[in-house]
């Protein structure tokens, strides 16, 4: 059989790589050959905000392992950067694939039982983060003990002064050095038509089912929107399906714009068109930080 570089970053296994399609070249004559020297599995299922705030770790992994192939297992692949080599949506078919795949490094940053179970079952030379003991989350090594204990004891959690990036970097054996989020900026080809002046202030009015104490009364949002407009700024109400009726009311009462609720990529695009964001929910906060 002719030479096939199965260790190349661009090798797909069952279909031609992009360079063969564009240039017609075969592996033995290819100048784009990029060998992989380490394979990494990153498990961060989590909510949207959790996944986004984990992306600073990618910067360190790319720095420490420039020739690594990184696979990310998640519930929200939409926000994983395109530069990640393989992004897998958590489902039974993917789990079968992972059980048949070997990795050099495995990082599980989730304490959920299903994530810990995957970390236990998948073959890897070195594992960091959390696995299972007696069916419950347990640190795979001493680096994860701090994060494990703060999740068990309220007094330790209250005394904790480490940021989330500090914690996950430590779990993986690194020191956090202020690495920024990695979030792909939406395409500028499609821009929403927002009939409001700039600077445009996004008001994200939801808080989710879990954090009802963060919920602002309607009159607060209306008052804020009116004051912003009186100061010459534009106002755009944002939210999901749960906030739809509320945002219609707020828009009508205040004169701010509301375009409706949309899938996550479109929501990110709307946030990207805002100059500043006011939000009580961390998902939108992490989106805004990622977009800078």
Q: Is 143 helix (H, G, I), strand (E, B) or coil?
A: helix
Q: How would residue 191 be classed by pLDDT, with cut points 50, 70 and 90? A: confident
Measure the N-to-C terminal CA separation of the chain; round to a whole number of Å.
50
Task: Name the burial class of residue 188, with classes exposed (0-12), middle (13-18) and buried (19+) by CB atoms within 10 angstroms of its CB.
Answer: exposed
Helix and strand numbers, DSSP H then E, in the chain: 12, 10
Going by the DSSP 8-state scheme, the letter that residue 231 receives in this structure is: T
70-117 pLDDT, tens digit per residue, is 999 999 999 999 999 999 999 999 999 999 999 999 999 999 999 999
More confident residue, 202 or 207: 202
Residue range 129-158: mean pLDDT, rounded: 96
pTM (2 d.p.)? 0.90
**Top-level CATH class of 38-171?**
alpha beta
| Separation between Cα atoms, residue 230 and residue 109, nearest integer Å | 46
**Residue 215 pLDDT level (bands cut at 50, 70, 90):** confident
Q: Inform me whether the pLDDT recorded for 30 exceeds 80.
A: yes
Structure-token pair, residue 229: 């407009």
What is the residue extent of each domain of the chain? 38-171, 200-291
Which strand (E) or helix (H) includes residue 196? none
Residue 40: CB partners within 8 Å, gap ≥ 6?
61, 65, 68, 69, 70, 71, 103, 104, 105, 106, 107
Going by the DSSP 8-state scheme, the letter that residue 187 receives in this structure is: P
DSSP reduced 3-state for 131: strand
Q: The CATH number of 200-291 is which of 3.40.50.300, 3.40.50.1980, 3.40.50.2000, 3.20.20.220?
A: 3.40.50.2000
13, 85 Cβ separation under 8 angstroms: no
252, 226 contact by CB (below 8 A): no
Rounded mean pLDDT, 155-172 = 96
The whole-angstrom separation of Cα 68 and Cα 85 is 9
**What integer best gives the mean pLDDT of the chain?**
93
Measured distance CA(46)–CA(108) in Å, rounded: 11
Count the Cβ atoms, other than its own, within 10 Å of residue 264: 14
Nearest to 88 by CA among 15, 103, 34: 103
Residue 230 confidence class, pLDDT cut points 50, 70, 90:
very high
Q: What is the mean pLDDT of residues 252-264?
A: 93
Burial class (CB in 10 A: 0-12, 13-18, 19+), 42: buried
Beta strands 123-133 and 68-74 are: unpaired
Same fold, 38-171 and 200-291: yes
The percent of the chain in helix, strand and coil, each rounded to the nearest 5, is: 40, 20, 40
């Amino acid at each position: 059989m002719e030479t096939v570089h199965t260790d190349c970053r661009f090798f797909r296994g069952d279909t031609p790589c992009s360079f063969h399609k564009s240039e017609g070249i075969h592996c033995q004559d290819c100048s784009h050959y990029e060998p992989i020297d380490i394979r990494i599995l990153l498990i961060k299922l989590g909510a949207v905000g959790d996944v986004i705030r984990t992306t600073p770790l990618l910067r360190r992994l790319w720095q420490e392992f420039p020739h690594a192939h990184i696979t990310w297992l998640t519930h929200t692949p939409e926000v994983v950067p395109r530069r990640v080599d393989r992004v897998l949506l958590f489902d039974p078919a993917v789990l079968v694939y992972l059980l048949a795949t070997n990795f050099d490094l495995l990082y599980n940053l989730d304490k959920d039982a299903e994530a810990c179970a995957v970390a236990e079952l998948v073959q890897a030379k070195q594992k960091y983060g959390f696995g299972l003991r007696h069916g419950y989350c347990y640190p795979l090594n001493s680096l994860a003990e701090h994060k494990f204990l703060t999740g068990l004891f309220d007094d330790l959690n209250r005394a904790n002064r480490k940021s989330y990036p500090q914690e996950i970097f430590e779990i993986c054996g690194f020191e956090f050095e202020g690495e920024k989020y990695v979030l792909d900026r939406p395409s500028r080809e499609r821009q929403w038509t927002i009939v409001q002046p700039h600077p445009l202030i996004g008001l994200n009015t939801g808080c989710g089912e879990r954090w009802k104490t963060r919920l602002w009364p309607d009159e607060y949002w209306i008052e804020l929107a009116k004051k912003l407009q009186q100061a010459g700024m534009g106002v755009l109400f944002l939210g999901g399906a749960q906030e739809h009726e509320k945002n219609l009311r707020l828009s009508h009462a205040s004169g701010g714009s509301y375009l409706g609720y949309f899938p996550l990529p479109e929501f990110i695009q709307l946030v990207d068109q805002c100059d500043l964001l006011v939000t009580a929910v961390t998902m939108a906060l992490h989106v805004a930080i990622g977009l800078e």
